[in-house]
Structure 1
Amino acid sequence: MNYWTQLSFLNTKYAKMLYVIILSVLIVKILNRFIDGLFHRQTKIIKTNENRIKTLGGLLKSLLKYTVYFVALLILLDLAGINTSSLLTAAGIGGIAVGFGAQSLVKDVIAGFFILFEDQYQVGDYIETGEVEGFVEEVGFRITKLRDFGGQLHIIPNGEIKRVTNHTRGNMRALVKVKVSYEENIERVFSILREICEEIKTLEYIKEGPDVLGITDFGLEGIEFTIISKTTPLKQWAVEREIRKKIKERFEKEKISFAYFKAPLKGA
């Protein structure tokens, strides 16, 4: 008798509800393992940044988890005798009203997904986003956090980021312009600048150059020379500072005059 009672219980709505809960949990676990394995293989194949892969994998797992649980909830409500069709209709009407207010949120989330998926930038990169620039401290699906040189934290909705300039990808260019007086010997200035460039080449973060382009302008104050160099990301400013320092030291030693604006005397 007890045996048949147990069998009959297995066919009750409570048992079915228990099956749905157990099955939904198992499905989520299986999907999580599958996604982890899939993204792990992709990381090895395409050599993609591991943190970005983990973020994308986490997004996909969350999306699938909530989808499975939502479907399971509908089945449970149906088993409990609740009309899910009327609930979905009511939710749909309310969803339309909420949807208009949530458009910006959806826009931010979609933009954040593509920022991560396309690897536009990641934590540690130095970027410009139109009006704001700084180091990326956090990349979320809704917002991006930037820390500028002044220490200020900028929180930008991803949907408002229309254009990004990433200063951390590839080699950067250091550029220094120096003006000397028209009275100076051009060949002598050339020679000194080349010697300075040879000294600077020993810096570890210089990839190419520096080289003297030559005379690049004739101004009212004097003759302009330009020096360029390719550097590792974010080291262009350090190279420019070092070049300017060397130029100042050598020009003082060699008695070479920098060009400067001479204001005309009144009444002259």
Structure 2
Amino acid sequence: MYKFHEMPLAESSNIEAEIQEKLNVFQQFWNYVTSSETWGGYLWSLIDIVIIFIVTRAVIAIVHRIIDHTMSKKEKMRLNVNSRRMVTVAKLLKNVTSYTLNFIMLLLVLAEFNINLGPLLAGAGVVGLAIGFGAQSLVKDVITGFFIIFEDQFAVGDIIETGKFRGTVEVIGLRSTRIKNWTGEVHIIPNGMINEVTNFSLENSIAVIDIAVAYEEDAERTIQIIKETVEPMVAEIEDLLKVPEVLGVQTFGSTGVTIRVIAECKPYTHYGVTRIINARLKKALDAKGIDIPYPRLVTYQRAGKGGMNDGT
């Protein structure tokens, strides 16, 4: 004969409760899956994500167009332009814009899934604050370098002066700037130390030539000779942009008068242009017999008790 063991009543009730709980969970899941409100919410969330994506792409495209237009305008305005630098700056700004807008888009998409962004942003803020305190000078250099590039304060190939350094800019980085002096020294300056900059390459420079002529010479004749000498120079000197202008008598000295000539030339080429004009004017004045003043000493020699002879 078979013997049947009866299950305790309490254990049977627990099994039935567990089965009922699982059935309730499945029923809730089924109701959630088959609910029109659920799929409607997902549909609206999907639509919102698509809209966010499209708007982000459109904003990025518009900002990139603005950057290209701005760089093109700056390239036309600058006299000594470096096209590779403009392309580099444009790419840098485009990358920064893309990263920033894509990060914002990611936050908005996460918000559509009801993800709490507070702890994420708080953590990023704490990390950024720690980096800022730990590398203050580096952050200062990078920020200053970014604004140097963004504001187009100077470019590679420009001749600038900052502090006690003057020379040609060879490299502009987010961390430092490298300047080469005309004698060959290379100065590497952290961008955070660049407080004031004088740029000699943005506008045309003026060469100032002062010619000293003896008092015995006719000033009007000398000015006319100078004018005839400088007129053809604009076609002969590459860095000269206009015919040099003879201003006239500038000062009276102890041994002669000074006649001033000014000449507009390419940026930071006035030193070389001044030397060329000086050499040609000296040759022309010598050919016309115009004396350059020089110190003279007058002496008197006694001839005897009752008289005096003078001589030079």
Query: Fold-level match, TM-score > 0.5?
Result: yes
- Matched to 2:223, the amino acid is F
CA contact (8 A) 2:67 2:90 kept: no
Aligned mate of 1:38, from 61, 65, 83: 65
CA 1:90–1:186: 2 relative to 1, 3 Å: closer
- Deviation, 1:210, is 0.2
Q: 2:86 matched to which residue of 1?
A: 52
- Matched to 2:201, the amino acid is T
Q: 2:163 matched to which residue of 1?
A: 130
- Deviation, 1:42, is 2.3
CA 1:176–1:64: 2 relative to 1, 3 Å: same
- Deviation, 1:243, is 0.8
- Deviation, 1:140, is 1.0
CA 1:62–1:263: 2 relative to 1, 3 Å: farther
- Deviation, 1:176, is 0.6
Aligned mate of 2:285, from 227, 244, 251: 251
Counterpart secondary structure, 2:287: helix
Residue 263 of structure 2 corresponds to residue 229 of structure 1: yes
How high is the sequence identity, in percent, across the aligned residues?
35
Q: Which whole-Å CA distance do the structure 1 matches of 2:256 and 2:142 have between them?
A: 54
Q: 2:175 matched to which residue of 1?
A: 142
CA contact (8 A) 2:67 2:93 kept: no
CA 1:264–1:132: 2 relative to 1, 3 Å: farther
- Matched to 2:275, the amino acid is R
TM-score with structure 2 setting the length: 0.60
Q: Deviations over 1:207-255 (max 9, x none)?
A: 2230111111112232111100111223322321221011111122222
Matches within 5 A, 1:1-268: 34=61, 37-38=64-65, 41-42=68-69, 46-49=72-75, 50=83, 51-61=85-95, 65=99, 92=126, 99-203=132-236, 204-261=238-295
Counterpart secondary structure, 1:111: helix
- Matched to 1:227, the amino acid is V
CA 1:255–1:41: 2 relative to 1, 3 Å: closer
Q: Which whole-Å CA distance do the structure 2 matches of 1:113 and 1:237 have between them?
A: 33
The structure showing larger relative contact order (alpha-carbon pairs under 8 Å, at least 6 residues apart) is 1
TM-score with structure 1 setting the length: 0.69
- Deviation, 1:40, is 6.5
CA contact (8 A) 1:39 1:53 kept: no
Q: How many residues are aligned here?
A: 229
Task: Note the residue ranges of structure 1 that are not aligned, 5 or more in a row.
Answer: 1-25, 73-83
- Deviation, 1:135, is 1.0
Q: Which whole-Å CA distance do the structure 2 matches of 1:137 and 1:264 have between them?
A: 57
CA contact (8 A) 1:135 1:146 kept: yes
Q: Which whole-Å CA distance do the structure 2 matches of 1:238 and 1:174 have between them?
A: 9
CA contact (8 A) 2:68 2:90 kept: no
Q: Which whole-Å CA distance do the structure 2 matches of 1:198 and 1:253 have between them?
A: 17
Counterpart secondary structure, 2:215: coil
- Deviation, 1:205, is 3.2
- Deviation, 1:66, is 8.7
Q: 2:17 matched to which residue of 1?
A: none
Q: Deviations over 1:94-150 (max 9, x none)?
A: 865653452222222111111111111111111111311111111111211111110
CA contact (8 A) 1:52 1:119 kept: no
CA 1:38–1:195: 2 relative to 1, 3 Å: same
Q: Deviations over 1:188-208 (max 9, x none)?
A: 211211111113132343222
State the superposition RMSD in angstroms: 3.8
- Matched to 1:161, the amino acid is I
Q: Which whole-Å CA distance do the structure 2 matches of 1:54 and 1:162 have between them?
A: 24
CA 1:178–1:90: 2 relative to 1, 3 Å: closer
CA 1:91–1:264: 2 relative to 1, 3 Å: farther
Counterpart secondary structure, 1:42: helix
Counterpart secondary structure, 1:48: helix
Q: Which whole-Å CA distance do the structure 2 matches of 1:179 and 1:250 have between them?
A: 14
Q: Which whole-Å CA distance do the structure 2 matches of 1:36 and 1:63 have between them?
A: 8
- Deviation, 1:187, is 1.8
Q: 1:15 matched to which residue of 2?
A: none
Q: Which whole-Å CA distance do the structure 2 matches of 1:229 and 1:90 have between them?
A: 59
Q: Which whole-Å CA distance do the structure 2 matches of 1:54 and 1:90 have between them?
A: 29
Task: Note the residue ranges of structure 2 that are not aligned, 5 or more in a row.
Answer: 1-52, 76-82, 107-117, 300-312
